[in-house]
Structure 1
Amino acid sequence: MSDTHPVVAITGSSGAGTTTVTDTFAQIFARESITSAIVHGDSFHRYDRDEMKRVYEEAGENAPSHFGPEANLFGELEDLFAEYGRSGTGKVRQYVHDDEEAQLYGRPPGTFTPWLDLPAGTDLLYYEGLHGAVRTDAVDVARHVDLRIGVVPIINLEWIQKLHRDRSTRGYSTEAVTDTILRRMPDYVHYICPQFSNTHINFQRVPVVDTSNPFIAGWIPTLDESMVVIRFADPRGIDFPYLLSMIDGSFMSRANSIVVPGGKMHLAMQLIFTPLIWWLVESSRKARAREGART
């Protein structure tokens, strides 16, 4: 963690909705005139698309998944967070997803750009991906993050979202997506789930419609068909009466948890994150000013 260069990490598995949360943060950054260095978790995968296919073919049932350490650069991610906390910079690259990004980066889809330094003069580093709060015997990424946020739909909803996304945008069959889910399950249990005990705040979307068989679901439950459980690891300083008064239909389920209608999730994020981000940035700017005065 850093007094001068804060790191914010949004952690959630594939299809969890972290991109939607990123849109909310983009609005906050624009409104509060905050400049951020954006880092995407797939930039720290170990293999590009063709390499991963080859690894799958060679390893068979023992193939690594994008959830676990064998297919990721956990050490490099920890180094980036640590270096940014010290100096406000660090090495990153981009993963090229599609033809549109290929034109932007000048690299074929499914490959990585070269490693480059982050732009100078940013207020914070913003990470969105799978491993923003990961801890293993070898690395502790979480300890370098000032604000750790988990995005955790219940598992059936997560699978529904992944099935629909991979079939509609990537052309995969239901059987292929199901195989991926099964292959990733051990790494999901050992490396994804434990992160949500390391987060400061978790957002868990819970549908109020039947999702008992996600593999035949015809549509993704909407926000209005859901409730969102927001859990604070440390509820001290959280103004729950204010949140309850501002978010119609919300209620407290535990002393550290508030439940809001799904359609109010973005409002809840704005109300919760804006003061936290403002405090992080203002504190870091003051800390940098003090360092500058001493030098």
Structure 2
Amino acid sequence: MSKEHPVIAITGSSGAGTSTVKNAFNHIFGRVGARPVIIEGDSFHKFDRKQMKTAMELEDKKGNKYFSHFGPEANHFDLIEKTFKQYGEKGHCDRRYYIHSDEEGAPFGKNAGEFTEWEDVGRDSDLLFYEGLHGGVKDGNIDVAKYVDLLIGVVPVVNLEWIQKIHRDKEQRGYSAEATVDTIHRRMWDYINYLTPQFSRTHINFQRVPTVDTSNPFIARDIPTQDESFVVVRFQDHKYCDFVYLQDMVAGSFMSRPNTLVVPGGKMGFVMELILREQVEKMLKH
């Protein structure tokens, strides 16, 4: 890990709510004057959209029903490790973007589902900030987590995660619930073997737990609101948290274990900023 060129990574599944933490960090970066290099996890996919469709069809013909964006066959885990390591040592790295829409691709002359060219970035930055699926992944000799100074996990209970994904895919991407359920099933092997283990390596986990019935996520009409939830915040080490201060600041919060704080769901963004701003400021002092 690097004190001079720190690396922050948010890791979580598709539909987990990593964008909430990303927004909290964006507010923090603005308030403390930090200049981050933003790295998106999608940029490390091995295949563009057309290539992925072809690869998936070939895997289906082989009888492999679990080929997905979550696993090593469809991602450059080695390049994530290389990027984090290079930035930590030199303060710059290579970056590209995965284009999600034609509007997003217009400035680059690219279409939805394509990649931009790799370019060297970060020479005037203060830190690297990654958001994606594999910020703490390990696979064989590859150990991405080793090069992360602050690793944040975003892990709703799994039924809530699925509800969020089904609704997001329908509203933002036009997918049917059936298509999303098929995707969830396809990804399950890689989810268990490559995503879930990351959350034992994180420095801080944020897990939203609904207080309403989510027992059948595939028929849920609504996403439980934050006010219908609690957020369980687990710390790897006490150095990442002043529990007395946080309980004084957040009404209704309590400790459920010596390293775990529970807060009302409506306070999630506020608590994230309280906890994470202190960590960013410590990094920038080195």
TM-score (norm 2): 0.97
| Aligned partner letter, 1:36 | P
Instruction: Tell me which residue corresponds to 1:134.
Output: 137
TM-score (norm 1): 0.94
1:185-264 → structure 2 map (5 Å cutoff): 185-236=188-239, 238-264=241-267
* Shift in Å, 1:188: 0.3
* Shift in Å, 1:3: 1.9
Q: Write the distance in 1 (CA, Å) between the matches of 2:226 and 2:145.
A: 29
* Shift in Å, 1:238: 2.3
Q: Once structures 1 and 2 are overlaid, which stretch shifts more, 147-156 or 52-61? A: 52-61
Q: 1:94 aligns with which of 97, 100, 123?
A: 97
Q: Write the distance in 2 (CA, Å) between the matches of 1:240 and 1:71.
A: 41
Instruction: Tell me which residue corresponds to 1:46.
Output: 46
Give deviations 1:201-224, integer Å, cap 9, x for gaps: 000000001100000000111111
Q: Write the distance in 2 (CA, Å) between the matches of 1:20 and 1:49.
A: 26
Q: Is the 8 Å Cα contact of residues 96 and 105 (structure 1) preserved in structure 2? A: no
Secondary structure at the residue paired with 1:214?
A: coil
Instruction: Tell me which residue corresponds to 1:184.
Output: 187
Q: Is the 8 Å Cα contact of residues 102 and 110 (structure 2) preserved in structure 1? A: no
Secondary structure at the residue paired with 1:183?
A: helix
* Shift in Å, 1:9: 0.2
Q: Write the distance in 2 (CA, Å) between the matches of 1:144 and 1:134.
A: 11
Secondary structure at the residue paired with 2:283?
A: helix
Q: Is the 8 Å Cα contact of residues 91 and 118 (structure 1) preserved in structure 2? A: yes
Instruction: Tell me which residue corresponds to 2:283.
Output: 280
Q: Write the distance in 2 (CA, Å) between the matches of 1:46 and 1:78.
A: 15
* Shift in Å, 1:79: 0.3
* Shift in Å, 1:100: 1.7
Instruction: Tell me which residue corresponds to 1:24.
Output: 24
Note the residue ranges of structure 2 that are not aligned, 5 or more in a row: none
Q: Is the 8 Å Cα contact of residues 229 and 258 (structure 1) preserved in structure 2? A: yes
Q: Write the distance in 2 (CA, Å) between the matches of 1:279 and 1:245.
A: 22
| Aligned partner letter, 2:37 | A
Q: Write the distance in 2 (CA, Å) between the matches of 1:10 and 1:184.
A: 20
Q: Once structures 1 and 2 are overlaid, which stretch shifts more, 55-64 or 115-124? A: 55-64
Give deviations 1:105-127, integer Å, cap 9, x for gaps: 22111000001111321000000
Note the residue ranges of structure 1 that are not aligned, 5 or more in a row: 284-295
Q: Is the 8 Å Cα contact of residues 102 and 111 (structure 2) preserved in structure 1? A: yes
Q: 2:69 aligns with which of 66, 69, 74?
A: 66
Secondary structure at the residue paired with 1:37?
A: strand
Q: Is the 8 Å Cα contact of residues 151 and 203 (structure 2) preserved in structure 1? A: yes
* Shift in Å, 1:237: 5.8
Q: Write the distance in 2 (CA, Å) between the matches of 1:239 and 1:205.
A: 21
Instruction: Tell me which residue corresponds to 1:156.
Output: 159
Q: Does 1:117 align with 2:120?
A: yes
Q: Write the distance in 1 (CA, Å) between the matches of 2:241 and 2:182.
A: 42
Q: Write the distance in 1 (CA, Å) between the matches of 2:239 and 2:144.
A: 25
Moved over 6 A (4+): none
Instruction: Tell me which residue corresponds to 2:147.
Output: 144
The structure-2 alpha-carbon separation of the partners of 1:135 and 1:237, relative to structure 1 and needing over 3 Å to count, comes to closer
Q: Percent identity?
A: 57
**Coordinate RMSD, CA, aligned:** 0.9
Give deviations 1:57-105, integer Å, cap 9, x for gaps: 1111415211110000000110000000011111110000002201232
Q: Is the 8 Å Cα contact of residues 211 and 229 (structure 2) preserved in structure 1? A: yes
Q: Is the 8 Å Cα contact of residues 240 and 275 (structure 2) preserved in structure 1? A: no
Secondary structure at the residue paired with 1:227?
A: strand
Secondary structure at the residue paired with 1:216?
A: coil
Secondary structure at the residue paired with 1:215?
A: coil
Aligned pairs, number: 283
Instruction: Tell me which residue corresponds to 2:11.
Output: 11
Q: Is the 8 Å Cα contact of residues 91 and 117 (structure 1) preserved in structure 2? A: yes
Instruction: Tell me which residue corresponds to 1:56.
Output: 56
Q: Write the distance in 2 (CA, Å) between the matches of 1:221 and 1:66.
A: 27
Give deviations 1:243-263, integer Å, cap 9, x for gaps: 000001100000000000000
